[in-house]
Structure 1
Amino acid sequence: MADDRQGWLRCLLGGAVFVVCMAGTTLPTPLYPLYQEKFGFSELTVTVVYAVYAFGVIGVLLLAGNASDTIGRRPTLLWGLGFAAASAVCFLCADALGWLYAGRLLSGFSAGLFTGAATAYVMELAPPGGASRATLVATAANMGGLGCGPLLAGLLAEYAPEPLLLPFAVHLALVTVSAGVLLWLPETVEERQPLSSVRPQRPALPAQVRAVFVPAAIASFAGFALFGVFTSVSPAFLARYLHVDNHAVSGLVVALAFFASTAGQLAAGHFGAARSLPLGCAVLFVGLVLLAGAMYAELLVLVVLSAVVGGTGQGLAFRAALSAVAAAAPPDRRAAVISALFVVAYTGISIPVIGVGLLADPLGLEGAGLVFIACMLALVASAGVYLLRRMRPAVP
C-alpha cells in the first residue's frame, strides 16, 4: 500500500511537470493583441509567430523523437525544461519581433521533447496495475496544461502589473521548481545510451496502414488546425469584433477548447476507436459550424460553444486516430507511423493558420476565418463519410 501511494505521488508529480511545460507553449495566446499594439505588426505576423512553434515541434519529432528511449526520460525532459526556460527568457527580453520568433521556436523544441517522453514517463511512474489511470493523468496533463497557459496569462495580464513580463516570470519560476521535482523523481529507462546514439526518426507509412491512416490524418489535421486558428487569432477577433478587451476572458475562451479536448479524449476511451473517430468528425463539424456562426453573427456565446464543441470533437477524433493508427501499424514500425501522424497534426497547426493570416489583409479577419472554416468542413466531412462507408457491412 505504501509503495502504491509513493508510485501515485511520483506519477502525479510527473504529470505536474508535464502541465508546467505544456502551459508555456500557449502562454502568449491572450497577449498577442498587446504585442500587436507594442510592435505594430499585422495578423499575418501573429499567425507566423504562432506557427513557428509547430515547426519547432515537427523538427524535434523528426530529429529526436526517440531520444528518451535512448538517453532516458529524465535527461530528455530536463532538456525540454531547459528549452522552456530559454523560451520564457526570450519573451522577457522581447523588445523586437525577433525575440518572439525565437521564443516560439524554443517553445516548440520543448513541446517536441515532452509530448512523447512525458507521456511514457508518467505511465511508467505509476504503480503496477495502474496503466489506465496513469493514461488519464498523462492525457489530462497534456491538454490541461495547454489550457492552463492562456488562462494563467490572461488572468495575470488583466489583474496584475506588467502583462508582457509577469506571465513569463511566473512560468520561469515554475520551470525551475519543475526541474527540482524532476531531479527527485527516479529514472525509468534501465539501459541508457549516450546522446550521440540518438538518430533521426523518419516517419513511415506501410501499405497496410494507409486505409486507416488517411481518414485519421485528415481528422487530426482539421482538429489541430481548429486549435491553431483558435489560439492564434481568436483574442484579436474577440477584441476587434466583439469588443471583449478583458484578457482573462479571451484566455478562458481558448482554455475551454483545450479542457473540452481533454474531456473528448476521455470519452473516446468509452466509445472505442472505431466509433470515436466518425463521432469525433461529426462533433468537430458541428464545432466548425458554430465558429462560422460566431464570426458571422458576432456573438460571444457562439464563440464559447464552438470552443467547447470543437474541442470535444478534436479530443474524440485525435485519441481515436492515434489508437487506430497504432493498432494497424506493425510493431516494428509503430513509432515511425505515430510520428507521421503527429507530423500531419502539427502541420495542421501551422499551414492553415498562416493561410488565415495571408487572407486577413484582403478579406478581413472574419472573411479569412470563414474561408478557413469552409475548407476544414470539407475535409472533416470527407473523412467522416469515408469512415461511415468503411463501417457499413458489406452487402453479399
Structure 2
Amino acid sequence: MTEHGGAIQGAAGTGTIPIPDAVPTHRPAEPAATRPRRDRRLTGRPAVYLLASLIVGLLAASSAPTPLYATYQAHWGFTPITTTVVFGVYAVAVLAALLTLGKLSDHVGRRPVLLVALAVQAVSMVVFATAGDVGALLAARVMQGLATGAALGAIGAAMLDEDRELGTFANALAPGMGTASGALLSALTVRYLPAPTHLIYLALLGVFAVQAIGVALLRETVSRTPGALSTLVPEIRLPRALRGPVLAAAPVLFAAWALAGLYGALGPALVRVLTGSGNVVTGALSLFTLAAAAVVSVAVLRAAPARPVMLTGILALIVGVTVTLIALTTKSPAAFFAGTAISGVGFGSGFQGGIRTVVPQAAAHERSGLLSLLYVVSYLGMGLPAVAAGYLVVHGGGLITTTRQYGLALILLAGLALVGLLRTRTGSIPTLRPDGIE
C-alpha cells in the first residue's frame, strides 16, 4: 500500500519534451565523470536500485501491521473502527509530511532528507516492537507516516535525477513490491515464527540500518539553495503546463489507492468471512494478490504509451471490483481472489499511467514537489475512504454491506475518470514510451 507510491507509488517512459538538467536556482551536483577519483559515490543504475529498495522497504513496513491487526485486536479488545483509524492515521501522517516536507530535498539535498527519514522510520520500528497498547501503535504509525511522506518525494526525485527512464519505471514498480512483500512476510512471521509482534519490526529495523549506509554513499544530485524554511509552509503549486495532465491523472490515482486502502484495512477480515478460516497467511493473500498483480502489470505495460496504460487501469478497476462484489454475493473465495487480481492490474496500471502522464514533463526543480502532490492525491484516496469504511462496518450495515457500498463508489469514481479521460484531447496527454517516442 503509499504512501503508498505507487509510494509511493508509473512505469518507465521518456518523452520528447526536454527536461532541463539545470536551472538558475536548482543546480544538479557535479557529474561523476568530472569528480576526483577519490569520490567513490553510488551513481547511475546502482543508485536507482538502492533508492527503489528504499520505497520497497518503506511500503513493506507500512503493510507489515496489516496481518497483525487480528492479533492486536485479540490482545487489546478494540473494534474495526480502531483498526481503520490505526490504518488511516498513517495516511494522514504521510499527507502531512508530503505537504510540509515534500519539497525540502529540492533545497537541502536528497541525501540529508533520506537519512533523517530512515532514522525516524527506525525509531518507529522500535516503538512497534515494544507497543503495549493502541496508543503506542498509533504513535508508531504517525512516526512511520511522517518518515515515509518525507522520503517519498526525495526518493522519486533522486531516481529521476540519476536515470529518468529507469527512475520513472522504478517509481511505479517499487510501491507494489513493498506492499506485497510486507504483507506476506509479516503474515508468515505471525504463522510460523515466535514473537510475531516483535520479530518483523526488528527485521525491518535491520533493513533500514543497511539502507542508511547505502544512502550515505549516494552522490548528492542537487546543490543547496535558499528557501528551505519556506517549503515547510503547506502549499500546493502546480505549474500551468502540468495542470491538464495532473487533472487527468488525479481521479485514477485516487480510485486506485482507495482500492488499496480497502484491502489494507479490511482485506483479511473479508477473507475470513469468505473462507471461514482464521489463517493469517490466507488473510494476507488478499493484499498480496492485489499488490503482486499491480507489480506484474507495471512490468508488462512498461513499454506501452501512457494514455492506453491509464485506460487499461480504469477498465481493470471497474471489471475487477465488479467481479469482487459478485464474489461477495455468491460467497466464492475463488471469484474473490480473481476479482482481486484483476483489480490489482487496475491499481498498477492506473498508478503507472498517472505517473507517466505527469512526471516526465516536469523540470528538475519541480520533480520532488510534483511527486509529493501526486502522493497527496494517492494517500487521500487510501486513507479517508478506509476510515469511513471502518465506521460503517460498526455503525452501518456490517462488513459485507460496507464493502459493497465501497466497491460501488469505486466503480462510480472509475467511471467518472473514464469519462474524463475519453473527453480529454489525445494530444493533451503525452503517450510517452521508454524509447522517447510519442
User: Which band: TM-score by shorter chain?
Assistant: 0.7 to 0.9
Match of 2:94 among 57, 77, 81: 57
Determine if the alignment matches structure 1 residue 178 to structure 2 residue 211. Answer: yes
Question: Is the deviation greater in 96-105 or in 272-281?
Answer: 272-281
CA distance in 2: counterparts of 1:68 and 1:263, whole angstroms: 31
1:164 equivalent to 2:197? Answer yes
Question: What are the within-5 Å matches in structure 2 for residues 66-145 of structure 1?
Answer: 66-125=103-162, 131-145=164-178
Q: Which has the higher contact order (CA 8 A, sep 6+)?
A: 2
Unaligned stretches of 5+ residues in structure 2 = 1-39, 428-438
Secondary structure of 1:48's match?
Answer: helix
Q: Shift of the alpha carbon at 1:249?
A: 2.8
**Contact 2:311 2:350 (C-alpha < 8 Å) held by counterparts:** yes
**Rounded Cα–Cα distance in structure 2 between residues aligned with 1:329 and 1:133:** 16
Q: 1:313 aligns with which of 343, 346, 368?
A: 346
- Identity within the alignment, %: 29
Cα separation, partners in 2 of 1:329 and 1:132, compared to 1, 3 Å: closer
Q: Match of 1:186, SS? A: coil
Q: Which of 366, 388, 391 in structure 1 is aligned with 2:422? A: 388
Question: Residues 14 and 5 from structure 1, CA distance in 2 versus in 1: closer, same or farther, beyond 3 angstroms?
Answer: closer
One of 54, 73, 80 as aligned partner of 1:36? 73
SS in 1 for 2:232: coil
Segments of 5+ residues of structure 1 without an aligned counterpart are none
C-alpha separation between the residues in 2 aligned to 1:242 and 1:52? 29
Q: How far off is 1:207 after superposition?
A: 6.9
Matched residues in 2 for 1:215 and 1:286: separation?
20
Deviates more, 1:167-176 or 1:380-389: 380-389
CA distance in 2 between partners of 1:292 and 1:188 (Å):
47
Corresponding residue to 2:182 among 137, 142, 149:
149
**Taking structure 1 as the reference length, what is the TM-score of the superposition?**
0.88
Give a deviation string over 1:322-345, Cα, whole Å, max 9, x none.
Answer: 333457889987765554433222
Instruction: Give the 5 Å matches for 1:1-396.
Output: 7-125=44-162, 131-191=164-224, 196=229, 198-204=231-237, 212-326=245-359, 339-361=372-394, 362-390=396-424
RMSD: 3.0
Tell which deviates more after alignment, 158-167 or 244-253. 244-253
Equivalent residues of 1:65, 1:116 under 8 A apart: yes
Q: How many residues align?
A: 389
Note if contact 2:156-2:368 (Cα within 8 Å) is conserved in structure 1. Answer: no
Alpha-carbon shift at residue 191 of structure 1 (Å): 3.4
Cα distance in 1 between the residues matched to 2:371 and 2:155: 16
Q: Which one has a larger percent helix, Structure 1 or Structure 2?
A: 1
Q: Name the amino acid aligned to 1:297.
A: T
**CA offsets, 1:39-96, max 9 Å, x none?**
1111111111101111111101110101112111111111111221122122112111
Q: Distance in 1 between matches of 2:66 and 2:53?
A: 21
Residues 231, 274 of structure 1: alpha-carbon distance in 2 compared, 3 angstrom cutoff? same
